[in-house]
Amino acid sequence: MTATLRRLAALALNTFREAVRDRVLYSILFFAAGVILLSLVLQEVTIGDQDKVVRSVGQGAIDLFGSVIAMFLGVSLVYKELERRTVYTILSKPLQRWQFIVGKYLGLMLTVTVELAILLAIYTGLMVAQQGFPEPVVFVSVGLLVVELALLTAWATLFSAYSSPTTASAFTLAVFLIGHLADDIWLFGSQADDATIRAVAQSLYWVLPNFEVFNIREYAVHHRPTPWDRVGPALAYGAGYTAAVLAAAVAVFERKDIK
Amino acid sequence: MPDSPAILIRGLTKTYTSDFWKKPVTALRGLDLEVQRGEIFGFIGPNGAGKTTTLKVLVGLHRPTRGTAQVLGVPTSDARGREKVGFLPERPYFYQHLSARELLRFYGQLLDLGGAALNRRVEHLLERVDMHRVANAPLSGFSKGMLQRVGLAQALLGDPELIILDEPMSGLDPMGRALVRDVILEERDRGRTVFFSSHILHDVETLCTRVAVVIGGRLKGVGAVAELIGSQTTHVELVALGVGEVALPGERVRVAVVGDERRVHQRVPPDQLDAAIQRVHAAGGRVLEAQPMRRTLEDAFVGAVSEARPDGATGAEEGP
């Protein structure tokens, strides 16, 4: 392992350790587990395919709370270091600024992935007890959720590198919502008569992230076969876009005076 | 580059322009400074003079607006230059969720240390700064002085050739200050360079080989402490008994009554000391004490500040 990788690993593990010692995170996790288990109650009051309700609510909870955790941790990732001045003794070591950003980001993604794994384990336990072991598509769906949250977290990291957590939260939430409405923006633009509106909508579609690319939850809920033709492009899109946003975060942080 | 100075600063200017709705603030204005290896170098100046800004440029936290800065022969923009530099910021803050031992191990990993060598180094430093008894307690419960000690330990972790300390005595009790002084002298004896800023001028005067005074972002003086303060006696503090209202040469500071005795404290110019003693004896009194006084670094510092800024203002100025 090179010195760079060892430093990235040290930063990532410290970020992970900091996150898992935060009580707020356990509250969110506890609440998410509660919602997954709540699906059993909803099943009782549902007419129709009751098993599907449990799968839908359970997977929806993993999606929602995974996103909440990613945003909660991501928006203060860099700002907190600056505000608490812990960054002084870190960046005065022989560490490059990009290593700081990437190391912190990797630690955050490790935390998010572990949280999702815990939620998935709870869901799997529920399914085994009630409907049998989940279909493989469920695991692929959660895998794509990790890729989606990697992109969302990169945006949060970018905002955190130059603004306060409140502003970064607002921006990240906007990206999250727009990213889930990207297909609608395209549809709206393509149906507009005005050429300018069409151009603006199409530009927004291509510049802003499209989180629906990663969404195959419908296949997972309805136990349909994994749509592999979507998975490959989604992975490539997620990796490329995440790298670009992280590069922007590094560029912002490189120019920053640490006050 | 072992032949290069420990610190070399040429024409360093730093202007802050981060808040676009405010006027730019210039903290450093063409600062030149050279610190040789093996020196204990004091960096003093009033609040806002640019001391911390200079230190932050040296450890890569700030980028120079103009000019250059090198540590151990490497430009400060190159992170490799910090491999042998230890830094203690003013009022250091650390991860609250870690213990002192965990924190030092983490910093050791950032310095690319590991294994048994890192563990030995961490334990040695915890003992050196007298924090080994509380090494497993979370830092969230540490006092300011304890954090300062941990900060000193992390600055020494990589066995640095250049140690940069921003107000290292700040927040420390007398024992803590003695500890920092001992560490600084030990490191000097090991051939290391120590560059530190301080408001406690007595420490600077007793520890430093050379001192630089910075005011308003500009260097106002640099040299050996003896050069700055001079070695000549400025006056003699004379304490006499039984002189009544007899006029003595110089300036009467005060009269103290101790029991039945009336003690006159007189500030006497050195060349009039003999005449003053003769007058005391002529009046039937006696000299209790005659203490020759030299100019202190504080006197020199206050003089330099008053000279530079007759309005009494100090610190950073708004930029052009």
Task: Give per-residue pLDDT as tens, A17-64.
Answer: 988 888 878 888 888 888 888 877 777 777 777 788 888 888 999 999
Judge: A89–B82 Cβ closer than 8 Å, yes or no: no
Residue A100 placed within a domain:
yes
* Contacts with B151 from chain A: Cβ below 8 Å: 89
Place of tokens 């609510």: A57
pLDDT computed for residue B313 by the predictor: 46
Burial-class residue B284 by CB neighbours within 10 Å (0-12, 13-18, 19+).
exposed
For the ranges B64-78, B167-181, B211-225, the one whose mean pLDDT is highest: B64-78
* Contacts with B107 from chain A: Cβ below 8 Å: 89, 93
Residue A198 placed within a domain:
yes
Q: Which tens digit of pLDDT belongs to each residue from A116-151?
A: 999 999 999 988 988 889 999 999 999 999 999 999
Chain A residue nearest residue B102, CA to CA: A14
Identify the residue with better confidence: A104 or B303: A104
In order of A6, A251, B115, B179, B225, the CA distances from B108 in angstroms are 11, 27, 10, 22, 36
Chain B residue nearest residue A23, CA to CA: B97
Contact by Cβ (8 Å): A92, B59: yes
Q: Which tens digit of pLDDT belongs to each residue from B220-258?
A: 889 888 777 776 778 899 999 988 888 899 998 888 888
Contact by Cβ (8 Å): A189, A197: yes
Task: Work out the number of other CB atoms within 10 angstroms of the CB of residue B205.
Answer: 20
Q: Which tens digit of pLDDT belongs to each residue from A62-77?
A: 999 999 999 988 888 8
* Paired sense of beta strands B25-35 and B218-224, if any: unpaired
Tell me how far apart the alpha carbons of residues B110 and B193 are, in angstroms, rounded to a whole number. 22
The mean pLDDT of B152-163, rounded to a whole number, is 96
* Contacts with A21 from chain B: Cβ below 8 Å: 97
A258 touches chain B (CB under 8 A): yes
pLDDT computed for residue B98 by the predictor: 93
Can you give the residue ranges of every domain in chain B? 7-229, 233-293
Chain A residue nearest residue B95, CA to CA: A86
DSSP 8-state symbol, B232: S
Residue A259 placed within a domain:
no
A1 band by pLDDT with thresholds 50, 70 and 90: low
Q: Which of A7, A84, A258 sits opposite B61 (nearest CB)?
A: A258
Residue A7 placed within a domain:
yes
What residues make up the domain containing A55?
3-254
Contacts of A196 (CB under 8 A, 6+ apart): none
pLDDT computed for residue B178 by the predictor: 93
* Contacts with A92 from chain B: Cβ below 8 Å: 59-61, 82, 85, 87, 89
Task: Say yes or no: ipTM exceeds 0.90.
Answer: no
B312 band by pLDDT with thresholds 50, 70 and 90: very low
pLDDT computed for residue A152 by the predictor: 95
B318 band by pLDDT with thresholds 50, 70 and 90: very low
Chain B residue nearest residue A21, CA to CA: B97
Tell me how far apart the alpha carbons of residues A205 and A191 are, in angstroms, rounded to a whole number. 14
Q: How many domains does chain A have?
A: 1
Burial-class residue B181 by CB neighbours within 10 Å (0-12, 13-18, 19+).
middle
B85 touches chain A (CB under 8 A): yes
pLDDT computed for residue B292 by the predictor: 83
B19 touches chain A (CB under 8 A): no
- The third-level CATH classification (topology) of the domain covering B233-293 is Alpha-Beta Plaits (3.30.70)
Judge: B95–A86 Cβ closer than 8 Å, yes or no: yes
* Contacts with A22 from chain B: Cβ below 8 Å: 97
Strand order, beta sheet including B233-241: B251-258, B261-268, B233-241, B286-294
Contact by Cβ (8 Å): B167, B197: yes
pLDDT computed for residue B310 by the predictor: 54
A116 touches chain B (CB under 8 A): no
Judge: B63–A17 Cβ closer than 8 Å, yes or no: no
Place of tokens 């200079």: B54
- CATH 3.40.50.300 holds for B7-229: yes
* Contacts with A93 from chain B: Cβ below 8 Å: 82, 107, 110-111, 158
Chain A nearest CA to B107, separation (Å):
7
pLDDT computed for residue B316 by the predictor: 45
Burial-class residue B36 by CB neighbours within 10 Å (0-12, 13-18, 19+).
middle
Contact by Cβ (8 Å): B240, B283: no
Tell me how far apart the alpha carbons of residues B49 and B27 are, in angstroms, rounded to a whole number. 7
End-to-end CA distance of chain B: 37
B1 band by pLDDT with thresholds 50, 70 and 90: low
